[in-house]
Amino acid sequence: MMTTHSPRSTPDRPSSPPESLALNFLLGLALGITFLALAATGYMFFHRTPVVEVGQLARIGGVTLRVARTGWMTNEHNHAEDESPAPAGDALPAEVQQLAEARNLEIEAATAEGQVFPMPASMMPDLPDDGYRRLKVEFTMENVGNQPVFFGPAEFRLHAAAGGEWSPRAVTTFQAGTLFGGQRVDAVFFFDVPQEEESDLYLTWMRDGRQFRIPVEGLYDDLR
């Protein structure tokens, strides 16, 4: 009589606890990195600053803005066009009169050659300081909604690639006010910019937690 013995099956050996912990850690780390990457991408997508060019329309809520043109203000004075009479100098000391006459002769000689003299800021009111140029920005803002909205210079900033940032000049810039539904305003504002930072400029328009970026390009040099 023969007895047949079937081979005994060997049970699978479970993974050791350290191996399971390492595997779970790696899976969690991969999921965490993926989540952070998706979150960063979403933040950049929803918070990137839209860019509009000069002449294009930007809209935040019920308010639209169109920058018509930008340019450097001129502060040159051509003596050939100055027809105002010179003040009498009889009361001045003789040596002062002689210096003034000599300077007038220099100006007349240079004017005859077509030269133009820049007027220093001290000789004309509200001119930029030495080393600065004044940027003029012409724009139109309109309330396309039904509710009145407040607007003002505080919504705007000028930035330079070199790191400078400026607010509109308070003296010569448009004043804050209210636009009712369907109303619009054509206005200007000004910035005094150091000459070493006058390249690669851009404006920002900020309103209701949103903003637009407007590159300052195609500058005119003859705005007055």
Could you state, in order of their start, the residue ranges of all structural domains in the chain? 21-49, 51-75+131-223, 77-82+91-118
CA pseudo-torsion sign 144, 149, 152, 157: negative
Report which of residues 126 and 77 the model is more confident about: 126
* Mean pLDDT, rounded, for 104-117: 53
* Mean pLDDT, rounded, for 101-122: 52
Report which of residues 1 and 57 the model is more confident about: 57
Q: What angle do CA 92, 97, 100 make, to 5 degrees?
A: 125
Q: Reply yes or no on whether the pLDDT at 140 is more than 70.
A: yes
Q: Reply yes or no on whether the pLDDT at 71 is more than 80.
A: yes
* Mean pLDDT, rounded, for 82-91: 46
Average pLDDT of the chain to the nearest whole number: 74
* Mean pLDDT, rounded, for 68-90: 58
Which CATH class, in words, describes the domain spanning 51-75+131-223? mainly beta
- In SS3 terms, the chain reads as CCCCCCCCCCCCCCCCHHHHHHHHHHHHHHHHHHHHHHHHHHHHHHHCCCECCCCCEEEECCEEEEEEEEEEECCEECHHHCCCCCCCCCCCCHHHHHHHHHHHHHHHHHHHCCCCEECCHHHCCCCCCCCEEEEEEEEEEEECCCCCEEECHHHEEEEECCCCEECCCCCCCCCCEEECCCCEEEEEEEEEEEHHHCCCEEEEEEECCEEEEEECCCCEEEEC
Q: Reply yes or no on whether the pLDDT at 14 is more than 90.
A: no
Kind of pairing between the strands at 220-223 and 63-73: parallel
pLDDT at residue 93, as a whole number:
56
pLDDT at residue 8, as a whole number:
57
pLDDT at residue 149, as a whole number:
96
Beta bridge partners of 136: 71, 190
Residue in this structure with the two tokens 């060019």, named with its chain if needed: 53
| pLDDT tens for each residue of 155-180 | 999 999 889 999 999 877 788 999 99
Q: Are 176 and 152 in contact (CB under 8 A)?
A: yes
| pLDDT tens for each residue of 120-138 | 444 444 788 889 999 999 9
pLDDT at residue 112, as a whole number:
53
Q: 86 pLDDT band (50/70/90 cuts)?
A: very low
